[in-house]
Amino acid sequence: MSALFHQLTAFTIGGLTVGCLYALIAFGYTIVYRILGLFNFAHGGVFMVGTFSALFVTNELGTRGGLSIGSATGTLAVMALAAIVVCVILSVALEYGIYRPIRIRGGGGLPALVAGFGAISFLQEIFGLWQGRSPVNVTQPVGSGELVRIFNGAIHPTELIVFVVTVMTLVALQRYMALSRMGRALRAVGQDSKTAALMGINAERVIVLSFVLAGATAGIAAVLSNVYYGSTSYFSGFDLGLKGLTAALLGGMGSVSGALVGGLVLGILESYGGAVFGAQWQDVIAFGSLILILVLRPTGIIGERMALVRA
């Protein structure tokens, strides 16, 4: 407990930063659930492939650490573009290759869930055989010096980048879904796909759009994860993917703002819990908190009842 009090700011900054990564991954789960009412368990695998896509870019560019602001920005932009393109293609391929055939043949949520688990396991094994089972180091183009010191904690460039990019991305998505024509179509199909179809909305196109948005945010999260952690592995998609799903449930499945709130809350709970009880207890605290919150408030912190959340 004394460690938490003495370094409260440092643990808060770390928790919020990790929570941002959870929030971006959580959005991918919540947008698909909002439209189809299914848990896209393969989403973590999409994120993992994105981390390796960004890694390959840094290797091809011969990136070194501590670049100037202009060079680092350019490198991050190329990494993000590569990761987003690969993740979007893979995410849409999962919809066309797995979820749509199951849906057309009348399969329910359980076959889709099992198929998604099989997909992420397949991707993990492929990359485990290809890249090895040990973590792979990623060169950080951003410097590691302190930007601002707040009490006993400090904000570094990597933490600032993760926080700013996450907030900007989720706010932009929130506005897109609220104001754009396709955003309104997303909400309409989520509420009632049959009525939306009668109003001339192409439901299948909207479903594909939900997987495009999920893949794009997974790509952004993948780049930020590489920048923050400085490494990736074949198993990163399962670990962070499960945390992202937990954040989505905590915040309220189907809510963009819930994804952000759930991610930040989960990150803080892990950070504070690790400070008090030890890092080995972080997962216990995170999932224990999930159970407690869902028992007391099944809708999550923000969100509607999951049976009605597709709105």
- What are the sequence ranges of the domains in the chain? 2-296
More reliable by pLDDT, 195 or 215: 215
Of all residues in the chain, what percent carry a pLDDT higher than 90? 43
Amino acid identity of residue 206, one-letter, is V
Q: Helices 236-251 & 256-277, crossing angle to 10 degrees?
A: 110
Among 2.30.30, 1.10.30, 1.10.1760, 1.10.3470, name the CATH number for the domain at 2-296. 1.10.3470
pLDDT at 277 (0 to 100): 82
| Cα–Cα dist 11/76, whole Å | 26
Among 76-80, 143-147, 257-261, name the one with the lowest average pLDDT.
143-147
| Of the candidate ranges 68-72, 139-143, 220-224, 281-285, the one whose mean pLDDT is the lowest | 68-72
Question: Could you tell me which residue, 161 or 139, shows the higher pLDDT?
Answer: 161
The model's pLDDT over 30-58, given as tens digits with 9 standing for 90+, comes to 999 988 888 899 999 999 999 999 999 88
Q: What is the mean pLDDT of the chain?
A: 85
Which amino acid is located at 9 in the chain?
Answer: T
Do residues 16 and 170 make contact, with C-beta atoms less than 8 angstroms apart? no
The count of other CB atoms within 10 Å of the CB of residue 284 is: 11
Model-level pTM? 0.90
pLDDT computed for residue 165 by the predictor: 94
The confidence score (pLDDT) of residue 311 equals 41
Say if CB 165 and CB 224 are below 8 A apart: yes
Q: Which residues pair with 154 in a beta bridge?
A: 149
Per-residue pLDDT, 43: 96
Most confident of 48-52, 271-275, 276-280: 48-52
pLDDT at 65 over 70: no
